[in-house]
Chain A
């Protein structure tokens, strides 16, 4: 099953490689990983999307907790949560496709953030599956380039990951 694991770790050099190294050394699956400092500059927040059986996920969480720099680990998927990913897509937008592209972006609540003679760059935010759906809705040949951030997640309501 797909799990979104959030963690807070000391914002020190090498933190990312400790986590990435753990996943590769123990053969854990890693779908995406995002990291950035938090409002407290001494802490980094990482969101890891992974897949595995319950036993494997349990081990992943224990192993992450075992890293000396890791302060807190939370499996967001265990409770109610929100997940968002940002995607930038450069699409062919010429001739009769130009209007169609604008319409597609509107339907998916995307925004056109760069306009050129022959292309649009569309910004789209949502769950991973929404971004997938947008790409599927487009003609393959119209997609020139995509870049995705990987998922970030946060718990709903008073489910808070903080030190």
Chain B
């Protein structure tokens, strides 16, 4: 049967098993919206700004492991979506974005709402397509989903001109995709895996360092098994939190700029470092020259060859799917008669415990102003450590990462690579739709939340009972912290003046608002927000927190990983 291009788009999404499409209508996609109106295979979620559509689709993917889908119109629809696309790209999240385009005869003529979508998004997508012929539409969408989800995942944009959505053709959805130019390597090189196993067995000061690749590759079980088998310490990057259970004794916390003392010291002083799905990012290892000063051998497992030896030279590179490679590695380690040197390992653990005893995350618990760290600790307790937590970007993000102990993967949803303020609320929407019965908390600040505050309206429309934890210090806290440390406390434009009354704001959108000003009220407020009585409601908790609190430890930009500023030193 012949279908219109618009009907083909809808049918392709249904074939892919899409549950939610996050979008916003406009001229160029009206045919597609009309086709959506006439179907019931998937739900459309109407956001209030296209940026939020991509963020929500991105978070849906992060929380569920499925491909997220966003639909936007041409011109401003696409440009508004760019921040969302770049955010997904930096964190390698599989999202398919369908964008409307002006009709093919109008392309290049500066038509109304025309923008070169393929050109604008090229640097921040894994791949993109402009579909000029309706006959190519189904095969292109199939390819888009395939490319987005396989290898190192990422966003893929499909730009569809309006006339293509009106043209008719026979609808055939391909069963599979074969591309001679795109065949990610999944199986690790056997010789390299063998070398890695031997190196791990010889380690005297081992360290396991895992990143977002372990979450994306669903390999946290294998990471945990490996660490347990060898009794090695483990750290997870900001993107990798939940890859290893945070409440376990072998977990040393997060590494990097705001990592724990013990994680950074163990990274720096290890003699064998196993990096899995991590990319030695500047926020993780600090100055690469300083990092390279200590002699250590590095094994690096990653699905993306270009992530290997990019910032740090490694000794045993293994390109492949992290789960498959770890399984091969586990097989060899279990079969081996050798075991790591026990006394060396004991000495190493003694050293690590000494580092851990510095208690680098301590803060003033006697304060009569609310400490943001305390709020996150109490959030962890109130949700029994089992919530999905989204965050925005800044100090609150670091405190959430440091103080909420994630025991499971896909529970911590944040913008690690691009550092996009404003993601928190749309992220929470995507997560809540992926897991309707789960507790979803959005840890944010008064600056970040205002960047996508309009989504409170979307939450009302779809009854998304997100719990917003607003750590309100009336400052762009992380900017303020850098200005205090590096700019002589000249707080240029980092003060948030003329804030709304968040309680009234939440109420005006039809939600529940709370203002919490005393430390003793923190726990009761959280308990109430997560109580059965408010299970169906969005609760906006506005915590008035200490304006001067800083995130510690801190590795200054350009400094070495072991050159941390600790709270007690100030």
Instruction: Give me the interface of A with B, judged by CB distance under 8 Å.
Output: 9-10, 13-14, 17-18, 21, 25, 55, 58-59, 62-63, 65-66, 68-71, 163
Contacts and interface: CB of A to CB of B under 8 A. Distances in A.
A71 B118 contact: no
Contact of B122 (A21, A58, A163): A21
Interface in B72-122: 118-119, 122
30 contacts: A9-B181, A10-B181, A14-B118, A14-B122, A14-B130, A17-B119, A17-B122, A18-B122, A21-B122, A21-B123, A25-B123, A55-B309, A58-B309, A59-B310, A62-B305, A62-B306, A63-B306, A65-B306, A66-B304, A66-B306, A68-B126, A68-B127, A68-B147, A68-B179, A68-B181, A68-B182, A69-B127, A70-B181, A71-B181, A163-B180
Residue among A59, A62, A63, A69 having the largest count of chain B Cβ atoms under 10 Å:
A62
B309 A69 contact: no
The 7 closest A-B pairs by CB, nearest first: A62-B306, A68-B127, A71-B181, A68-B182, A62-B305, A25-B123, A66-B306
Contacts of B179: 68
Contacts of B127: 68-69
Nearest to A58: B309
Contacts of B126: 68
Contacts of A14: 118, 122, 130
Nearest to B132: A13
Contacts of A70: 181
A69 B181 contact: yes
Contacts of A63: 306
B342 to A, nearest CB: 38
Interface string B174-188: 000001111000000
Contacts of B130: 13-14
Nearest to B181: A71
A103 B455 CA distance: 77
B146 to A, nearest CB: 10
B560 to A, nearest CB: 21
A25 B86 CA distance: 14
Contacts of B122: 14, 17-18, 21
Contacts of B118: 14
A71 B305 contact: no
B307 to A, nearest CB: 9
Interface string B158-191: 0000000000000000000001111000000000
A9 B123 CA distance: 18
A163 B147 CA distance: 21
A65 B305 contact: yes
Residue among A13, A21, A63, A68 having the largest count of chain B Cβ atoms under 10 Å:
A68
Contacts of B310: 59
Contacts of A55: 309
Contacts of B306: 59, 62-63, 65-66
Contacts of B123: 21, 25
Interface in B290-314: 304-306, 309-310
A53 to B, nearest CB: 12
Given A65-B306, A66-B304, A68-B147, 20 more contacts: A9-B181, A10-B181, A13-B130, A14-B118, A14-B130, A17-B122, A18-B122, A21-B122, A21-B123, A25-B123, A55-B309, A59-B310, A62-B305, A66-B305, A66-B306, A68-B127, A68-B182, A70-B181, A71-B180, A163-B180
